[in-house]
Amino acid sequence: MSDRELTSILGRCLEEIAAGETAAACLARNPEHAAELGPLLAMASELGTLGQYQVSDAARLQAKAQLRRAEAARRDQRASSKGWLRLGSFLTPRAAAGLAAILLCVLLTVGTVAASGPGDLAYGLRIAAERIPARLTPGAEARARAELGIASRRLADLDRTMHSQDQAFDERTVSALLAGVEMAAEMATSLPEPERVEIAARIAEQAQRVTQLMGSARSTQQGEALQAASRRAYRAAERAWTGPVSPKPQPAGPSHEPTRSPTAAPHSTLTPERTPFPSPSATATASPATASPTPAPSATPSHAAPGDASRQQTTPQARPTVTAGRNTPQATPSGPGPTATSPGPGPGPTSASPGPGPVTTSPGPGPAATPSGPDPAATSPGPRPTSPDPGPGSPPGHTPGPRG
Amino acid sequence: MYAAISDTQVLTLIPACQRGDAGAVEGLYDLYADRIYHYVLARTGDVSAAEDLTADVFLRVIQHVHRFKLDTARPASSVSAWLYRIAANLVADYHRIRQRRPTVSIEEDALLISAAPDPSQQAERRDALDRLSGALEKLTEDQRLVVVCKFSEGMSNAQAAAWLGKTEGAIEALQHRALRTLCRLLGAK
């Protein structure tokens, strides 16, 4: 007899016994297997005695009391645990996976925004995000410095754009740069003079760098955009330099009086306007040589922005380069000229620099003249500097000639 | 023989236990305590230890029920399998500890026997339980579970198959092998 057959007979017998039949009846029905089935059925019966045992009532009560205590302790433990742990225990795996996916998306977005550059979709977000800390900075000086820091970053972006073939020119960079410097200038107007002068010099420095980048412009449009930006940055520097100025009545009619008016004077005027900062055109080609005190203005423009060729021929001028450092505003001013009567408000570091003297022809606001600095052999029709040192009242970057 | 545990009962009790409902844990205890007790008793041969270990099984349920994933296809079966697994682990710990140091001294043993209504009968039953549990320890876990389901709880082959997640044929084969092994072991003694 096979093992399987005996298994089947045993199974059937045990089912019948469970249904109420006796073991003897089962064995009688299977006499040929009785010898093997008998001990197995007896063992099954002995095992049935296990079923007679039950958990005693005392043990049952004790166990339930234990369970209640344990459940209460567990509830207390859960109640005292921290909120996020409770959240974790209630989170289903699906909710946890969703939360993790959202976190991942946020991290990826932040990473994408942080790594974005000019021309990228996320660049606008990066610009906006980077300005947030500056906007929240309390105090005018700190805010001005923070804004200058942001402007420096945009300037770096602009620099990379202009020197990289891969990156497209992005007007958002220029706008953000200008927003930074103009806000810095705005903040600076309420500061005491030393801080204001320093910030003005830093703004002027940035304006100068923008002007320098004009040389790397790949199209007329880019050049014009940079020129406009440079001009605005210089205006901001001047505003910062000037500080809170109460409006003065403008002299009537053409005058040789220097003026602080931001409005551009006619090109033909001989009024040497007192401008603490050079126009973009003046600094576009500034070389280290031009940064030194140069009494003789050059009338030999070496470079000019596109479209200004005619002007550069006729508007020689001397435009010293602003050389203001980060902490030591050292714009090399030119003297206000003989007609300059209103020395700048600041103790500019110009006491040792005689300045180039008056400029009798106004280059206007545009990049008309791009002087190459002091040139003894200059054939400039402009007057040689005859004015004395403007003195301590001269502002940094003071430049004779009308300001654009 | 006990009434079968329905899927509906389990589907009500387990989520309530997971919410921290103490009444639900007690309900689960009422439903399963005797079944677990038979299994533990069969393996330990010690009435008092079996009662303690049975309570311990449900204490562990409280600790881990929030992580338990109920099989909605066969809820009652999945819960019983989980409870027997916990019981098996506790019995294994019990045997490990017992091997290192006997838990009942001779004096205590004598005291227990003398406290029973019929000390000689009690001692006899205790001896039989000891022998049986010793032999059951030689079986495989599946064979032990079939023995407990079929002979302690009086389940049919179909019920045991559903309870343990096996086919009826597998239950028959396991019970045959288990009985044969027990006959050999206990008969030799």
The ipTM (two decimal places) reads 0.82
Q: Give me the percent of chain B exceeding a pLDDT of 70.
A: 88
Question: CA nearest B158 in A: which residue?
Answer: A15
Chain B: give the shortest CA distance to residue A6, in Å: 8
Which two tokens mark B20? 């921290």
Q: Give me the percent of chain A exceeding a pLDDT of 90.
A: 8
Query: What angle (nearest 5°) sits at the alpha carbon of residue B75, between those of residues B74 and B76?
Result: 100
B122–A contact, CB cutoff 8 A: no
Chain B residues touching A46 at Cβ < 8 A:
128, 132
Which pLDDT score, from 0 to 100, does residue A128 have? 87
The number of C-beta contacts closer than 8 angstroms across A and B is 111
Give the pLDDT band (50/70/90) at residue A169.
Answer: confident
Chain A residues touching B22 at Cβ < 8 A:
67-68, 71-72
Q: What type of residue sits at position A271?
A: T
Span A185-194, pLDDT tens digits: 988 888 888 8
Please list the residues that pair with A275 across neighbouring strands.
A399
Q: Where are the beta strands (DSSP E) in A233-343?
A: none
Rounded distance, CA A263 to CA B78, Å? 88
How large is the average pLDDT for residues A177-182? Answer: 90
Q: Which residue has the tokens 């500080």?
A: A243
Span B59-105, pLDDT tens digits: 999 999 988 988 888 888 889 889 999 999 999 999 998 877 655 54
Which two tokens mark B148? 């407990």
